A and B are shown apart, each in its own frame.
Chain A
Amino acid sequence: MNTVPPDLTSAYPEIFLLAMVCVVMLADLVAGEKRRYVAYYLAQLALLGCALLTFTSLSTETSYTFSGMFVDDPMSDILKLLVYGTVVSVLVYSREYISSRGMYTGEFFSLILFATLGMMVMISASHFLTLYLGLELLSLSLYALVALRRDTVIATEAAMKFFVLGALASGFLLYGMSMVYGATGSLHVAVVSEAIKSGVLSHEVLVVGLVFIVAGISFKLSAAPFHMWAPDVYQGAPTAVTLFISSAPKLAAFGFVMRLLVEGLGEMVADWQGMLIILAVMSMAVGNLAAIAQTNVKRMLAYSTISHMGFLILGLISADWNGYSSAMFYTMAYVLMTLGTFAIIMILSRDGFEAENINDFKGLNKRNPWYAFITMLLMLSMAGIPPMIGFYAKLSVLQAVLNAGFVWLAVVAVLLSVIGAFYYLRIIKLMYFDEPESFDPISPQTDVKVLITINGVAVLAFGLFPQTLMALSLYAIERSM
């Protein structure tokens, strides 16, 4: 049989990254204990290389390769570039943290890079199996990352919980996919979409499959009522890993949802719209209400993430380019905010001390006005107060929801975000109104200092001038869907 080798050009970044992961592992082995920075710089180099490869071959059209299992379109390029940027920041932010906690090892970097590879595959997959493979590569790396400090009980417990529930969710997803396969006879996203459009298939089978797929996705997005793992994992994982889990994978999850629900099962809007409404409302309610009761910052941010995911899902409900691009913009804004927030938690931590309690923010304005100011920007942005980027994220989602005719949904979202504003304000209150409990100096390394400043200012600057990011997400969606 004479097979034509697939055109690899659009998968160059993935292939390059895979090669680089091996290089990182080998180099770390050779470099030894004293020169751990080799792995760090190689990892950064790998991401930079990926960015270069993606950037030089930006696509304006959709192209398929590997027999249509892999897609390269503007949305995948933009999402991947954002993922690289996020992972680079994660590495910069976490270097000091992991080196003071015995996690400055080659495994950390290779696992992060493997997870990144998984995300890239998720973003570019156009076949149910590829989607699943990308997701599993990401998930397995994350389980291992959470368990990286195997000597601490809480991290091990978190990893176990994460693994068991994550595996269950993957099972759901696979089961749902198999139902869809049973109904349509194909796993190709495009073929599935065509088959459903033909309208001759058994609707019942498809809907049962859809329910399982949506449940699986909700697990991965940590949307209520499938959110149980998130608070425990966020709290239990080392902060550097929490930072990673809560940031980049959400970008990939957005791409994943777009491929699966919109491109693949887009014809079933009427069916999944209702499910997403329930998920969105529940996530916003559970996330915002439960966050009030938290005294652990990481746990609070886990619930805050849940509520943000509710808002993100809200953007998808309107099921048009307007809503999708709003959801994408929301994801970008969320990642920017979450990166900064966890970075602040990490610089407040020191050797042997985790700044996990909200009281650790007390009097930050007296200890360091600049970081207090940045944290305030981040918190206000999360609460959706203008002129921060979080406001425009909420604005565009609300606009899409109203455009789709769900006035009540917009009102519910708005009321729940008032509740949400309370716990973000509490952090500001602690920083500005209370006296500090410790006067330890906060002196991160220069690269962290610069990046945090850029990150905080970006939250404000993109709030004052949100057009660029909005146009970017609009472009990505319009050109790809």
Chain B
Amino acid sequence: MLFGLPLLSLIIWLPIVVGLVVFATGNDRNAQLARLIAIMGSVLGFMVAIPLYLQFDSSLSSMQFVENHPWVERFNIYYYLGVDGISMPLILLNCFTTPLVVMAGWAVIRERVSQYMGAFLIMSGIVNGVFASLDAMLFYVFWEASLIPMFLIIGIWGGPNRVYAAIKFFLYTLLGSLLMLVAFIYLYQISGGSFSIIDYHKLPIPLEPQILIFLAMLLAFAVKVPMWPVHTWLPDAHVEAPTGGSIILAAILLKMGGYGFLRFSLPIAPDASQYLAGMMIALSLIAIVYIGIVALMQVDMKKLIAYSSVAHMGFVTLGFFLFNAYGIEGAMVQMVSHGFVSGAMFLCVGVLYDRLHSRQIADYGGVVNKMPIFATFFMLFAMANAGLPGTSGFVGEFMVIMGAMKVNFWYAFLAATTLIFGAAYTLWMYKRVIFGSIASPAVEGLNDVSKREFAILAILAAAVLWLGVYPFPLTDVMHATVDDLLAHITQSKL
């Protein structure tokens, strides 16, 4: 409780309400007002989320900050909220990212500012709802609702091919989620009329329906993560989305897929998870290796980072299906770290794009001469993206590789190739963009980062380094939950 208000509800609804207020500021004459309200709202949103961490009891594996009220009695749907060690860090990550996104769009977005800012705030609240829901239908409502603001963000403020990207994004994700809906309704039937996720965790289900449930949910989560081969929407969406949209997409929305595996697939269908683990690991390894090579070939910076996201998220799904603590905790760390790193990478590309209006690697070269501060930050994030020790990127990948080693040497071997490919595509891009002689008169005219950009990059850099050097606060909160989850998965539900 905070000021007598339930904390989780506050975290969800405060950004949404502020977002509506931002909408209400109307047209672009009040743009500055919209920006101010948005930044205050998003910072406030982060501040109300801090008690979530401070008051969190990391020795418990059960749900905390629980709120439970009847919502739709006809179908036993409850407004049932709660967080554990898995969802809490993701909520914090989301609340942390929102102010950065608002700042990133501060000067760049000049058209329909109130709608842009409002959409991001509402998005933030909805995503918090996704992570905090303990009722499958409530989860589903938030999950689907999150498509709407993102669809508009890509479609209104995106690049030249934005319409195609926005509709592809929407339909792809919708297809996946609707089958998940069927799975939820099926669970509702066999659980005797309950939509509570906690009830589902305890529900015994025979293997065959378990596999069907797993596959139905897999489509929803795999599209979101995204896993190979259903990742094709991501490069399109990323390339066309405005910088803020790319950041949220990579840092937050992809995590919804990973979270889904931990909250739904693994605990609800543990036997199916074990049964299909080989397939899941294979898909993850393909994502890591094959998409890593694909990333190497990209000429568009955003596309390159998008593919590198797919490869990094491959680590997440790999970690989940190793069924040991290193794997799952590593995957969780990787999710949070990827939130910081990919967000920062997209931001860096955004900084360049705002100046030169090109994302082509070939259009750049010698940027370091004109933007030394920027080049330093970009260097740090590129290293983190490549998984250099001391940065957050290393911790997660290392833990997952250790987990893989316990299961099978070759898994670990293939996963470790990412350290080579990741370094190759990231640093090669960095070299071509930043170093060398000044490529064009346009590059000659570049200005280094503004104070606002400096602030955003510095905050992200601090987060990347902090998580890389001292990940304990993060692993500590999830420890009990992950142990409990593992114990749960290894017990058959047949």
Contact = CB atoms under 8 A, between A and B. Distances in A.
Interface of A: 365, 369, 380, 385-387, 391-392, 395-396, 398-399, 402-403, 407, 410-411, 414-415, 417-418, 421-422, 425-426, 428-429, 432-433, 465-467, 470-471, 474
Given A385-B144, A386-B145, A421-B171, A433 B185 contact: no
A407 B186 contact: yes
Contacts of B115: 365, 369
A418 B188 contact: no
A467 B75 CA distance: 9
Contacts of A467: 71-74
Contacts of B151: 425, 428
What 6 pairs between A and B have smallest CB-CB spacing? Answer: A470-B74, A386-B141, A414-B178, A433-B155, A418-B175, A386-B144
* Most chain B CB within a 10 A radius of its CB, from A369, A425, A433, A474: A433
Interface stretch (B161-169, B272-280, B319-327, B365-373): B161-169
Nearest to B71: A467
Nearest to B140: A386
Nearest to A383: B174
Given A407-B186, A414-B178, A429-B155, 8 more contacts: A365-B156, A380-B148, A385-B148, A391-B144, A418-B174, A422-B171, A466-B74, A467-B71
A415 B181 CA distance: 12
A474 B75 CA distance: 11
B179 interface: yes
A467 B74 CA distance: 6
Interface of B: 26, 71-75, 112, 115, 137, 140-141, 144-145, 147-148, 151-152, 155-156, 162-163, 166-167, 170-171, 174-175, 178-179, 181-182, 185-186, 188-189
Contact of A395 (B145, B170, B185): B185
B185 A429 contact: no
B188 A385 contact: no
B191 to A, nearest CB: 13
A112 B393 CA distance: 68
A289 to B, nearest CB: 15
Contacts of B170: 421, 425
A433 B179 contact: no
B81 to A, nearest CB: 15
Contacts of A466: 72, 74
B111 to A, nearest CB: 10
Given A402-B182, A417-B178, A385 B71 contact: no
A432 B137 CA distance: 29
Nearest to B176: A418
B393 to A, nearest CB: 35
B209 to A, nearest CB: 10
A391 B141 contact: yes
Nearest to A463: B141
Given A391-B144, A429-B163, A471-B73, A410 B182 contact: yes
Contacts of B171: 418, 421-422, 425
Given A386-B145, A387-B145, A471-B73, A403 B156 contact: no
Contact of A471 (B74, B137, B140, B144): B74
A410 B168 CA distance: 23
Given A385-B148, A395-B181, A474 B74 contact: yes
B147 to A, nearest CB: 7
* Most chain B CB within a 10 A radius of its CB, from A387, A398, A407, A414: A414
A137 to B, nearest CB: 34
A340 B137 CA distance: 26
A418 B180 CA distance: 13
A427 B115 CA distance: 18
Contacts of A470: 72, 74-75
Contacts of B148: 380, 385
Contacts of A414: 178-179, 181-182
A422 to B, nearest CB: 6
A185 B157 CA distance: 69
B135 to A, nearest CB: 13
Contacts of B163: 429, 433
A310 B148 CA distance: 26
B185 A410 contact: yes
B189 A403 contact: yes
Nearest to B179: A414
A429 B171 CA distance: 13
23 contacts: A391-B144, A392-B72, A395-B137, A395-B181, A395-B185, A398-B181, A398-B185, A399-B189, A414-B181, A417-B178, A418-B171, A418-B178, A421-B170, A421-B174, A422-B167, A425-B167, A432-B156, A465-B71, A466-B72, A466-B74, A467-B71, A470-B75, A471-B74
B72 to A, nearest CB: 5
Nearest to B126: A387
* Most chain A CB within a 10 A radius of its CB, from B140, B141, B152, B175: B141
A115 B144 CA distance: 39
A451 B74 CA distance: 28
Contacts of B71: 465, 467
A477 to B, nearest CB: 12
A421 B166 CA distance: 13
Nearest to B209: A407
Contact of A398 (B145, B147, B174, B182): B182
Nearest to A392: B72
A380 B144 CA distance: 11
A414 B174 CA distance: 10
B307 to A, nearest CB: 26
A429 B75 contact: no
